[in-house]
């Protein structure tokens, strides 16, 4: 191996490294363009004689976007508990969120099915993705927590439809 061929290999390595670093730098804004909103929380608890439900959600919260426009991830943590005894009918614990932003509708939901006899609550998380969110705008997110019977009749339900003013997030 001559000094010239060793120098050529070194030059190729340097150029390859510069190219890789440049590609990473160019991709960083795309990778960083995701903002995670504050988390909402939904909970259900069904007993032999009662159905309890809860929804906690952000209200008039300022969210600083990583970029403008940005993709917003709206998370919701949920728990469900069914302590009915005997052989009760199956019920559905339904957790839902939706929004309309820039005339586009976005939503996501999570259903959990139980037939009683739980000794501890189940837990999970899910999220909704809203692309193209810009600074100096706002968004209202509709949250719903509901328990229903297999046939579809609702046992208990709670949402934030009466929220006043109907603003969940302001974007900075």
Please give the Cα distance from 62 to 135 (Å, whole number).
11
Name the token pair of 6.
């060793």
Rounded Cα–Cα distance for residues 15 and 92 (Å): 59
Q: Over the stretch 88-112, which tens digit does the pLDDT of each residue have?
A: 999 999 999 999 999 999 999 999 9
List pLDDT tens digits, range 45-64. Answer: 999 999 999 999 999 999 99
Where along the chain do its domains lie?
1-32, 33-171
Sole residue written with tokens 């159905």: 51
Contact 84, 63 (CB under 8 A): no
Low-confidence residues of the chain: pLDDT under 50:
25, 27-31
Q: Domain 33-171 - what CATH class?
A: mainly beta
Cα Rg of the chain, angstroms? 24
């Amino acid at each position: 191996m001559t000094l010239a061929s060793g120098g050529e290999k070194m030059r190729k390595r340097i150029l390859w490294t510069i190219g890789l670093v440049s590609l990473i730098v160019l991709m960083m804004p795309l990778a960083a363009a995701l903002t995670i909103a504050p988390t909402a929380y939904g909970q259900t608890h069904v007993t032999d004689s009662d159905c309890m439900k809860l929804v906690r959600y952000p209200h008039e919260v300022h969210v600083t976007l990583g970029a403008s426009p940005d993709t917003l991830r709206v998370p919701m943590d949920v728990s469900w508990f069914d302590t009915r005894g005997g052989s009760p009918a199956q019920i559905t614990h339904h957790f839902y969120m939706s929004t309309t932003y820039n005339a586009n509708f976005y939503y996501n939901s999570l259903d959990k099915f139980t037939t009683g006899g739980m000794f501890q609550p189940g837990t999970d998380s899910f999220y909704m993705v809203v692309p193209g969110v810009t600074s100096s705008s706002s968004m209202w997110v509709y949250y719903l927590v509901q328990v229903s019977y297999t046939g579809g009749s609702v046992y208990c339900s709670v949402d934030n439809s009466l929220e006043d003013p109907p603003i969940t997030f302001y974007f900075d």
